[in-house]
Amino acid sequence: MIQRLLQQLSNQFALKKLGPISLFLGIQVTRSSTGFFLSQEHYATKFLNDAGYKDCKAAPTPVTPTQKNQEPNLQPFTDPSLYRRLAGSLQYLSITRPDIAFATNRIYQHMQSPTVQDYKALTRILRYIKGTLSFGLPLTAGSLELRSYSDADWASDTTDRKSISGFCTFLGSNLISWIVRKQATVAKSSTEAEYRSLSAAASEVIWLRRLTAELDIPQPSPTTIHCDNTSAMAIAKNPVFHARTKHTEIDYHFIRQQINFGNLQPSHISSQNQIADILTKPFLTTRFQELRTKLTIRNPNA
């Protein structure tokens, strides 16, 4: 069928057959006996060379936990255009590197007026990339069942006290979708922040269920969304809801509706096994590497 389609197209248009895919828009595709491996090693190497970090010392994590009582360096960075250019390159690199998604989202919060401290945080990501140049995403054959993980870090941004939502979705063992996003409004409790993240993850899951159905990969059973907040889980499953704010009530009714339709199934998971944690907060090296492995980010020879 593919060859017949190519023949029909070549009758009308000038086509060039490039053979099996190996490089597309800066993304390297390596075929193996178990499937494919997606990475951006060439892009990352060129990016580091252009930034002057070709021979920098590697860092074990892309961001370090903020120390309490640490005075911020608010001195303006002298070259904001350089900061924005490097940040944009990091955003593109995160296509196959969700392990830097949280750190990249943080530096994107300061694009308008970056400080010296912001630039230092950006260079920390560059140093982490230096040590993980070959890392990427594997795609392997297996189960075609969707499952998702949702998490939030309540009031983590000290400038406006807005929370960070993070969620990721797997198709079988393959990571296919992830999002790190600052919430639009200030949450008054960790439960509210977690529930908003759960609602955003639910919207993503519904879209993915429709997409997989169009690709003839139907999802006969409800998609499980793993959440580590027991109060948010109780609200999702409780038919009685006492809402204090309209936007939270909308999220509540949306999730309840999708549960009743049989599209979603919220499930409690321990914080230790919450993969989406890596999308909402910084960690020390051991915990970060553990979560990175669960996110399936690895080098091609692992």
Report whether pLDDT(239) > 60: no
The ranges assigned to domains in the chain are 38-131, 142-269
Q: 155 to each of 7, 31, 103, 169, how far by Cα in Å? A: 57, 43, 17, 24
Q: What is the pLDDT of residues 118-175, one digit of tens each?
A: 999 999 999 999 999 999 999 999 999 999 999 999 988 777 889 999 999 999 999 9
One-letter amino acid of 61:
T
Q: Indicate the Cα dihedral angle 247, 249, 255, 259, nearest 10°.
A: -170
Q: Which two tokens stand for residue 135?
A: 């890392």
Q: Check: CB of residue 36 under 8 Å from CB of residue 138.
A: yes
Helix (H) or strand (E) holding 89: helix 80-93
Q: Check: CB of residue 145 under 8 Å from CB of residue 138.
A: no
pLDDT of residue 107: 92
Average the pLDDT over 268-292 and give the result: 94
pLDDT of residue 2: 86
**Average pLDDT in the chain:** 89
Q: What is the DSSP letter of 65?
A: P
Report whether pLDDT(249) > 70: no
Report whether pLDDT(268) > 70: yes
Q: Check: CB of residue 157 under 8 Å from CB of residue 183.
A: no
Report whether pLDDT(248) > 70: no
pLDDT of residue 91: 92
Q: What percent of the chain has pLDDT over 90?
A: 65
H helix and E strand count, the chain: 9, 9
Strand residue runs (E) in the chain = 23-24, 27-31, 35-39, 136-140, 146-153, 164-171, 174-182, 223-227, 264-268
Q: What percent of the chain has pLDDT over 70?
A: 92
Q: Which two tokens stand for residue 100?
A: 């830097």
3 state DSSP class of 127: helix
Question: CATH number of the domain at 142-269, please?
Answer: 3.30.420.10
Give the separation between CA 121 and CA 249, rounded to whole angstroms: 37
What is the pLDDT confidence band of residue 32, given thresholds at 50, 70 and 90? confident
Report whether pLDDT(231) > 90: no
pLDDT of residue 129: 96
Give the separation between CA 90 and CA 201, rounded to whole angstroms: 24
Report whether pLDDT(49) > 80: yes
pLDDT of residue 213: 95
User: β-strand 174-182 against 164-171: which pairing, if any?
Assistant: antiparallel
Q: What is the pLDDT of residues 185-211, one digit of tens each?
A: 888 888 889 989 999 999 999 999 999
